Amino acid sequence: MTAKTTASDALQIKCSIDHEPTKFVKDSKRFASLIEMWKERDEPMAIQCWKVLPSPFNRMLNLQYVHSNLAPDVHTKGFDPTRPKPGCVIHRTDPAAIARLKDNATAVQSIAPELYPELHTASADCCYECLGGNHLTLTFRFYHGAYTSPITGITYKIPSDEPALRDRVEVGHSYVVLKEGLPDNDATFVAEYLNSDQNQNQGTSEIQVLLATHQVVGEELKLTPHPQVSKVTQKVANKSLVKLRADSIGDHAHYCINLVGTGLIDELLRWHARNVNPKELSVSPRWMGDLAKTLGKHYPFCMMGITFIEYRGEVKIANARPLPDVSRTFGTAQLNGLMKDPTNIIACEAFLRSSRKLLDAWMTEKLQSKHRVSALFNIFEEAGCRLLTGSSLGNVGFDHKVAGKFTVGRLEILRSAWMLSIENKYHELDGLVLNFDENATKDAEGAAEVRRKP
């Protein structure tokens, strides 16, 4: 007689060479206990993809990975119904928990509205909070709405010879359903446990380690205003189910501690989700540590902008796993050269800060989305740091006529071009240039003076 498969069996991951064996045994037992204690039913059930929303307790949904890897693979190779495991969701029934879930989904979409299909948060049926399977769920949503990816140009229509795919999209993918009441810390644990699966579709990227480190730094800040790198490193290592090198965690800790109180780590996580496919690109922890140690705590916006440049400079290596260290495109020698005479970086940092101070509140009021506003600032800040470091300004996301070595005057012209581009893109920002761009104001005043002359 065949033993009955439990809900936890359907979700269990395999211990790989990347896992810490002793911790894996302990955590797998805790995971199985939680699933069996909180399962709503014994068997996974089919739930339509549009009813499932990402959990605020799960890692950041990487939109680039879905657009560039997962969905195109299903489109070109076909859907294998035997391969994906069931997802894992909490069936939310409490109005406050449902509101939190829908607010989180809206925030995730606002990271890059053009990369995310339409949400159906007005429906009462959108009440399933996804702890595992978010990327595959998003792929099914592409097919549900015949969505066209702006990255690949693929329109996701279900082929007539793919009945299994049609079933998953129209009837639903299988999910293990957990009851309302699962404590938040246990929901976080379940999500982290499922995310530690080191199979060919998943893996622990440097951005996940950065997130884990950032969370521990936040915990330490409640105890001390000056978190110690050694203590943060130890806590991250003890919490992680995957083996992590102490020096790598330490490098991430230096990076996070430099940005304490700025909110920029959260912005980096969102920027990464929009722009970086973790299956193709990585930046080494050592590089992040070198950047943090060289620049120190006084240049957070320049740290972020240079990090963007580093990711942009990566070389794509197909089918490479584990992720190669192909960073160092902005090496230690360049960083040291930048700090040898800090005049330019001081001026650049001050200008980037003042730009946020000048425009942030007004733009947020107009666009009604802090995430969208920070994404727009990230574009300008990357361009500004390209000017600072002498990197290419050929493809910064907006038209401009700036060239040459760094000067504050050129940075002002670059900001003017950026402001004009985003005002043209978002009608809500009408008046941005006229109200805030000194160069445009001077031009307008000069034109008015010419018109007044007889």
Is the confidence at residue 230, as pLDDT, over 90?
yes
As given in the structure block, the two tokens for residue 256 are 């996070």
Residues 2-60: pLDDT tens digits? Answer: 455 677 788 877 777 777 788 888 889 999 999 999 999 989 999 999 999 999 998 78
Sign of the dihedral defined by the CA atoms of residues 53, 58, 61, 65, in that order: negative
Average the pLDDT over 167-179 and give the result.
95
Average pLDDT over residues 79-103: 93
* Confidence band for 440, pLDDT divided at 50, 70 and 90: low
Highest mean pLDDT among 1-15, 105-119, 195-209, 294-308: 294-308
User: How many residues are there in the chain?
Assistant: 454
Residues 357-412 have pLDDT tens digits of: 999 999 999 999 899 999 999 999 999 999 999 888 888 999 999 999 999 999 99
